[in-house]
Structure 1
Amino acid sequence: MELSLLTPEQWKDYELLDCGDGRKLERFGTVVMARPEPQALWRPSLPEAEWEARAGAVFRKSKGSDERGEWLLRRGTPQQWFVGYRNAAGLSLKMRLGLTSFKHVGIFPEQAANWDYIYDTVLKLRAGGTERPEVLNLFAYTGGASLAACAAGARVTHVDSVRPTVTWSRENMEASGLEGIRWVVEDAMKFVRREVRRSRRYNGIILDPPSYGRGADGEKWVLEEQIGEMLSLCSELLERENCFVVLNLYSMGLSALLARTLADSAFPQAAGAAAQQGELYVEDAAGKRLPLGVFLRFRR
């Protein structure tokens, strides 16, 4: 089994400037920020004084919390702003960013490598005779993958349990000049179980599950306990041909081999398909590669 290392190569509005000592220094559009990154185990390349001089926003964890914190802003640094993403194949997106109390800003830049794949795959499905591919995006966050599928002509169902996040996704759709995405505010597992009972079918399924989460009605999600059932249910929803799957796992300690074995167990469509698995990463200005998740994807 060959493992692939993928990084987005067409970001003009994103740059990893440096990383190390459990932090990363990034540029999103015109905003430079410093925030925690547990995967950055090495020493940074730039001196601390340069980090301090360049960062307009610095995230500090709250005492006693591993997740929550606050942003320290230099005068003139916005709380919200927009960035764009464009690739050579014609995908063009515009997304709003914002500084959240969980250190996230609204996009995961490494996922652009999957957005390119989704856009290209939907175009190929349409060229092969599937006029409006049906695509399901689970744990969909602010919708980069949903927008990529929609931009290529898919009929997209976007599922996330957090209503403000779905509202954010809708803003990104409108900013990108797109329309027609179906928004579902619901626990992903509950939604998938109901779709199976309805005998629904999708040409594409995208999953980006967190390690841990809560559904819209307090449902508990624990990745290690429920990912097997989730993939098994998704297999029942996936068309047997003219279909694709994108699975992303960013929990520390999970491997590409694990993702491939999960997919082989759940999806008969993956057998004989050109499945691709590996790691997503971004590279800083000094050439250090920062791993940010594992992926598995195939098309049949």
Structure 2
Amino acid sequence: MFAAQDWKDYELLDTGDGEKLERWGNIILRRPDPQIIWPLDQTNGSWSQADAHYHRSSSGGGQWETRSQLPDRWTIAYDKLQFHIKPTSFKHTGLFPEQATNWKWMIDKIQGAGRNIKVLNLFAYTGGATVACAYAGAEVCHVDASKGVVQWAKENAQLSGLGDKPVRFITDDVFKFVQREQRRGSQYDAIILDPPSYGRGPNGETWKLETDLYPFIESCLAIMSNRPLFMLINSYTTGISATVLKNILALSLGKKHGGTITCGEIGLPITASKLMLPCGILGRWEA
């Protein structure tokens, strides 16, 4: 398992009964997680100290119950990278802390390349990977269909002191963007994909990972440079295994460029139990 173990401002305190207890800076949040099918340790009194608890609704969605007044948003840091955290109406906070293991890997790859690297970040959300790649010295194109999260990503870049770096923030359907980049003859040395299981673009375009991921990766091959550095795929889709990602990468990038493929689970250490919480899978292709 690839574990994000070097956080200081984030900590997964405990897990149980379908929920996780997390420290985000000095704020404690309690949120549901479907992977947690083991019992809660009733002797751990920290659970009652959560500043906010997200309750799912039987009709869909949910809401936060707060024990104390929460700030509208606050800031946490991972090494020299900084991010705004804000509890949203759909339980997320704007950051997936397990992705720190990928940020670290990408920073090392970019800084070790010995040349200028151009990165395309697709389904880029609030820009964790964008900030990491820009910090490493890459030129980055950040694409997401949601205007709100693209603005959030801009703010994270500025917060990390990267406002003057060569980063383009684009609100667009990723399929259409890649097709236009093909027509323009654009080329990228590294491509990051963090696709949802299901999604809808700004003009009603639909995305379903099981049917659309492989052809989309094939279309991305057309805009990879002659000296590609890496491709990273993240998946949180239940039922898709790391071996599936390995096969997809082998049949696409591996077949065309050779290189090395590494796949596996991604996770976070649990402080109370010393266990690991699985948080999805990743597939890495590198030259």
Q: 2:59 aligns with which of 55, 64, 69?
A: 64
Give runs of aligned pairs for residues 66-85 of structure 1, distance below 5 A.
68-85=61-78
**Aligned counterpart, 1:89:** none
Give the equivalent residue in structure 2 for 1:275.
261
Q: Within 5 Å, give how 1:73-222 maps onto structure 2.
A: 73-86=66-79, 92-125=80-113, 127=114, 130=115, 132-179=116-163, 180-222=166-208
SS at match of 1:145: helix
The alignment partner of 2:211 has SS state of helix
Percent identical pairs in the alignment equals: 39
Letter of the aligned partner of 1:109 in structure 2?
Answer: P
Alpha-carbon distance change, 256 to 75 in structure 1, aligned in 2, over 3 angstroms: same
Residue 284 of structure 2 corresponds to 297
- Indicate if the aligned counterparts of 1:24 and 1:34 stay in contact, CA closer than 8 A: yes
Q: Counterparts of 2:256 and 2:222 in 1: how far apart (Å)?
A: 13
Conserved? CA contact 1:18–1:46, under 8 Å:
no
Q: Which segments of 5 or more consecutive residues in structure 1 lack a partner in the other structure?
A: 87-91
Task: Determine the structure 1 residue equivalent to 2:6.
Answer: 10
SS in 1 for 2:170: strand
List per-residue Cα deviations over 1:203-235 (Å, max 9, x = no partner): 000000000111121211111111111110111
The more displaced of 70-79 and 211-220 is: 70-79
Relative to structure 2, which stretch is displaced further, 21-30 or 191-200?
A: 191-200
Instruction: Provide the C-alpha distance between the structure 2 equivalents of 1:161 and 1:46, rounded to a whole number of angstroms.
Output: 42
Residue type at the aligned position of 2:282: F
Structure 2 unpaired stretches of 5+: none
Q: Aligned letter for 2:5? A: E
- When normalised by structure 1's length, the TM-score is 0.91
> Compared with structure 1, are the counterparts of its residues 152 and 38 closer, same or farther at alpha carbon in structure 2 (3 Å cutoff)?
same
- Deviation of 1:45 (Å): 3.1
> Counterparts of 1:39 and 1:134 in 2: how far apart (Å)?
36
- Relative to 1, partners in 2 of residues 1:270 and 1:143: Cα closer, same or farther, differing over 3 Å? farther
- Distance in 2 (CA, whole Å) between partners of 1:292 and 1:60 is 20
Partner of 1:282: helix, strand, or coil?
strand
Amino acid at match of 2:77: G
* Structure 2 counterpart of 1:290, one-letter code: L
2:212 corresponds in structure 1 to 226
Deviations 1:142-189 (A, max 9, x none): 001001110111110000000010000011000000033101100111
- TM-score relative to the length of structure 2: 0.95
Q: How is 1:49-60 mapped onto 2 (pairs within 5 angstroms)?
A: 49-52=45-48, 54-60=49-55
Distance in 2 (CA, whole Å) between partners of 1:228 and 1:299 is: 18
* In structure 2, distance between residues paired with 1:25 and 1:288: 14
> Secondary structure of the residue that 2:112 maps to in structure 1?
helix
235-244 or 190-199, which deviates more = 235-244
Amino acid aligned to 1:39: Q
- Runs of 4 or more, structure 1, over 6 Å off, are none
Shift of 1:134: 0.7
Provide the rounded CA distance (Å) in 1 between the counterparts of 2:218 and 2:110. Answer: 23
Aligned to 1:178, the other structure's residue is in SS state coil
For residues 28 and 251 of structure 1, the distance between their equivalents in structure 2, rounded to whole angstroms, comes to: 25
Moved more, 183-192 or 272-281: 272-281
Shift, 1:240, TM fit: 3.4
Q: CA deviation at 1:193?
A: 1.4
Count of residue pairs the alignment pairs up: 284
Higher alpha-carbon deviation: 75-84 or 92-101: 75-84
Instruction: Report the CA distance between 1:120 and its aligned residue.
Output: 0.8
